[in-house]
Structure 1
Amino acid sequence: MYCEHLKHWKTLFKTLHKTRPIKCTHSMAARNLSATAHRLRHLRLTSVPKSHAEKHRLQMMQLPQFTGFEIVLLGTGAGMPSIQRGASSLCVQLPAKSWLFDCGEGTLRQIFRSTVRVTTTEKIFLTHVHGDHLFGLPGMLCTLNALNADYMDPSTKQLGRRPIDVYGPPGVFDFVNASLTASCAHMNNVFITIHELVPLDYQPPPPSPHERVHEDLSHTIIRPERVDGTLAWRVMDDGAHTVMAGALAHSVPSLGGSCRYVVEENTRPGRIDVAAATRRGLVPGPLYKQLKGGDSVQLPDGSTLHPHEVMGPSRRGRKAAILGDSADSSGMYALARNADALDRGHSTSAMAGYFARHINPTLLVLTHISHRFSPGLVGPNSVQRLVDEARVTFRKRAVVDGFDLMRIPIPLPPITS
């Protein structure tokens, strides 16, 4: 089983290298195409040729089917959107739901072009309050409101307002509140809760008598705790997935600081051997849930049945570390260790590879790539040079340069004995 798992990663790695917007080659035709792309990029055009978009769709169809845990890169550029790369954003696709990480300008349009269904977006995580990471947020929230007019509350089975959770450092609530209030946005179909990840010594400012709070917004704070010797935020746990966050240094100051996220799938319990359980006197029913939860159960004959007696081996959950643009990532060593996929940008590619070597991910994906670098260029401004530099310090070849609409399916790990 473990060999099959490694084979899947190797196949995926080869596929990702084959499916890129412009293949880097030393032929004369490629150099001419690269020069043309370079000139067009500096014109800062806002439209994408139809053939280019069609090529992306064909590339996405070549990848494996949805595995239950997938990363979709929506914007891989740095600073500003360009014809080749959108502003910072990615999506973690999970069964029946999507979680958005950063929401730069144009993110909504990128979602419509991708395999992500915008109506499945229920949580948005922001790393910091720079414009290229959150200027698309107000429009995203208004669109979610417009598309959820028929939302059915799963608990009451009646029409209701869909809860949308937004997480980020201090400053996010003020930004969203000002945007929705100034634009007189009526959020009739959603209710938005802003969760701000505050420092340990944070003291909320006194309320201002002149401050207007939008009626469809609520505000909470999350304080950090010490995890493996490092301060970290337990952002959320929905029973199937856990999100943790750690503080990082950024080369450009921002209000409220910077935080980065780790999404981890909870360990899946093993299957119950129904025949073995029946022999012990336990037929399928409510007590199975207790066994899967790790609890022993009392049998009709008065004896106790322990989970390990009738359950197979468990399967560890998958893990993705989303660091985005950061200079010093040492605060994430403990949280991000042994991730299946690591998204990293803003630092040098050599620094990204060095950090990856310390946390040992299966795959390193470079994003937040400057517009000076292009997949179609050959030489010092080639994206391939960034990949090669990261491979040297990572000491593995499992490094790819991310591009917009790229899908990264994370396979199920092998079952542990």
Structure 2
Amino acid sequence: MSDFKIHILGCGSALPTTRHLPSSQIVELRDKLYMIDCGEGAQLQMRRMSLRFSRLNHIFISHLHGDHCFGLPGLISTLGMLGRTGSLTIHGPKEVKDYLQPILDQFAANLPYKVCFQEINPFKHALVLEDKSLRVYSIPLKHRIPCCGYLFAEKQKEAHIIREMTDFYRVPVSQMKNIKAGADFTTPDGTVVPNKRLTRPAEPAKTYAYCSDTAFAPEIVPLIKEIDLLYHEATFCEEDSARSRETNHSTARQAAEIARQAEVKCLMIGHFSARYNNLSPLLNEAQEIFPTTFLANEGMVIEV
């Protein structure tokens, strides 16, 4: 079972409906949770999906439209009521702090933990977070206001020790860390045992990119080349392309074209306009260009 998962909390667009919640996702990697966008209802969805609030330490906001950030004040307040003491870092364009700080001053002045802000330049592709499990990069997007997506790149795990072989060669425990990192082993009589005889490779590191909201932007293709899973907004069908251009959003066909050009392994589309009661036309439109496309939906858990 994969330890890199995407939980879909909401995949609708700005106008609320009974079918979809506003944008929010949780990236789960090696027992840590990273939230991307926080529309209304995000914390309730975390409850429904049994995601532990205490494992969430980083929130990445793409831009300051309400359907991507109106859930933040409630979530921050709830974390305080749950007795959180560790800091919470919110990453995003500078406007995110401008929006949140007055609310925190008014309603959350006595939080038992610290809310930190990391300003991200939405016009620049850059490393914005690195920990022992992954690296997160910003992806400049094309929207009506400054907006960026995020690329989550898992770090390669260490090789697996073949216990029978390390026992056979009597490898000391003190050498195991070096061998996991790729070192050969030299026996007391000077024989060099190749690392490949003592280990087997770990599963390849996985990559996931979140691109919402954006107009058709082929310039992002090199930044997401050959990733494992791409989430790309598909707000409109091609027949509504005039509206997509007016609002700086993408059609399902355009999302699929980005996936095709980037040669990603799989495409998930979301941020659906409230005008569509039936999403099959969007899926069909995308699959004509990129067959390995599927629809996002609330409650889904995708293994990368």
Measured against the shorter chain, the TM-score band is: 0.7 to 0.9
1:195 maps onto 2:118 in alignment: yes
Report 1:140-179 matches (<5 A).
140-149=75-84, 161-179=85-103
Q: Please give the per-residue CA displacement for 1:117-159, whole angstroms capped at 9, x wherever unaligned.
A: 333222111111112111111211121122135xxxxxxxxxx
1:317 maps onto 2:205 in alignment: yes
Contact 1:169 1:197 in 2 (8 A): yes
**Structure 1 residues 277 and 115: alpha-carbon distance in aligned structure 2, compared to 1, 3 A threshold:** same
Give 5+ residue unaligned stretches, structure 2: 234-248
- For residue 244 of structure 1, the aligned residue among 137, 149, 161 is 137
Q: Please give the per-residue CA displacement for 1:261-306, whole angstroms capped at 9, x wherever unaligned.
A: 11122222332223433444422x2321122223456665566665
Q: Indicate the residue corresponding to 2:299 in structure 1.
A: 405
- Tell me the distance in 2 between the aligned counterparts of 1:81 and 1:99: 24
Q: Indicate the residue corresponding to 1:350 in structure 2.
A: 253
Give 5+ residue unaligned stretches, structure 1: 1-65, 150-160, 201-230, 376-382, 411-417
- Tell me the distance in 1 between the aligned counterparts of 2:101 and 2:183: 45
1:351 aligned counterpart, secondary structure? helix
Report the alpha carbon displacement of residue 191 of structure 1 after superposing the two structures with TM: 2.0
1:74 aligned counterpart, secondary structure? strand
1:339 aligned counterpart, secondary structure? coil
Counting aligned pairs with the same residue, the percent is: 28
1:338 aligned counterpart, secondary structure? coil
Q: Indicate the residue corresponding to 2:246 in structure 1.
A: none
- Tell me the distance in 1 between the aligned counterparts of 2:32 and 2:264: 24
Give the paired residue count.
289
**Structure 1 residues 166 and 184: alpha-carbon distance in aligned structure 2, compared to 1, 3 A threshold:** closer
1:111 maps onto 2:7 in alignment: no
Q: Which amino acid aligns with 1:323?
A: C
Contact 1:75 1:88 in 2 (8 A): yes
Name segments (4+ residues, structure 1) moved above 6 Å: none
Contact 2:60 2:90 in 1 (8 A): yes
Q: Please give the per-residue CA displacement for 1:179-206, whole angstroms capped at 9, x wherever unaligned.
A: 1012253111x22221111278xxxxxx
1:337 maps onto 2:225 in alignment: yes
What TM-score comes out, normalization by structure 2 length? 0.86
Contact 1:246 1:331 in 2 (8 A): no
Pair member with larger Rg: 1
**Structure 1 residues 239 and 324: alpha-carbon distance in aligned structure 2, compared to 1, 3 A threshold:** same
- For residue 385 of structure 1, the aligned residue among 281, 286, 292 is 281
Q: CA RMSD in A?
A: 2.3
- Tell me the distance in 1 between the aligned counterparts of 2:73 and 2:180: 41
- Tell me the distance in 2 between the aligned counterparts of 1:358 and 1:146: 46
1:363 maps onto 2:266 in alignment: yes
Contact 1:291 1:306 in 2 (8 A): no
